[in-house]
Chain A
Amino acid sequence: MKAAELRRLANEIRRRDLRAVYEAGAGHIGGELSVIDLLTVLYFHTLKVDPKNPRDPKRDRFVLSKGHTACALYVVLAEAGFIPKEEVATFLHPHSRLNGHPNCVKVPGIETNTGPLGHGLPVAVGMAKAAKLNGDDWQTYVIAGDGEMQEGSNWEAIMAASQFGLDNLTLIIDHNRCQQGARLVDTNNMAPFRPRVEAFGWAVIEIDGHDIDQIMGALSPDAVAPGKPRCIIAHTNKGQGISFMQDRVEWHHKVPNAEQYEQAMRELEEAASR
């Protein structure tokens, strides 16, 4: 898919996600809006995955370590054909497969269960290590939140990935500068990430995480340093695309009221028509 089409699709996914969270009366809209451009490029440009054969041993692996933004992933999986589009309407309903955090046992296209933070990257290291052992060329991608990088398990995995020379592994940090309760800078500031991650032996690329061309470029196979795992620091905004949510901590898991929903939807529709 070309950049223009990806931009249009990302806007559609934002609207579907917003509606799902509004109708469910719960979700993590702020972090979903920050990660959707990344998810869109991954699923509709980068990942070699097949909804008709979601367990193909040679598929690329993707792990959404910031599992609380599951709703965005469900919308993307529905758009990509892994689950029926109408199923998104069941998000958080009793007995729905679409739980508040992704479940690989129930939902095709999901590789491992996430939710507790700091779990996705270690599992992704194991996946990438398996590909190396197998002599396979499939790739492993993982998205972690920036606040999530406070979990020590991530740094255990970062050390192992460089020790193992996993140049088939890409970590994308969704760097929206806000965590659940406060801004990173007021909590346990990990920024700037580049020197920290580089010091552990990774190749680091910094991009605007809402610029589709930059995301495509950073995810390109050409942007891999042989023998080094790749970290893409994606500078994003929590609540990206909606004026009153953008860069506001409280929209981590706040749910819009009817009036706010109308306004947010209007803003996204206007952006789509531009």
Chain B
Amino acid sequence: MSLQIDQHERFQQREWRFERIGWGLITAFVLAGFVGLLGTGPLSWAEAASDRGLVTVKYQRMTHHESDDSLELAFPAEAVEDGTISVELSGSWVAGVDLQGISPQPSDERSVPGGVVFDIAVERPGATRLLVTFRPQEYGIIEASVVVGGDTTSFTQVVLP
């Protein structure tokens, strides 16, 4: 009497083949995640500087929907005018993220068409930094341009689900 079993050799061969391909795909996915193609990582870290160097933005190219992200704006001493730095942010980025905080806190916040202007009070002249924390609310590509003293730079983020 033989074993009562639902064996299917051709299917088993095919399943092994698909499994091997699957392991390859999963390895590629994890490696992509590690290097920063799917979120934070070396390939995701980016920097954008304006022409005259009045503002430099450090940001992530790839970010996740509804997760904490931050970017850093750096200003040289020349960006300070009358004790304040005026930063204008505009583009789809402004509407596409939920701003969690800006540090140090702006002394003034004004609305302009398509964007927002932050005034940062500066105690002593010198190079300064601004940390912006936010949560992306929209999927896909969001773009921002940053203007300081008429000097413009821009950056693009990809928001993954």
Does B bind A? Answer: no
A residues neighboring B (CB under 8 Å): none
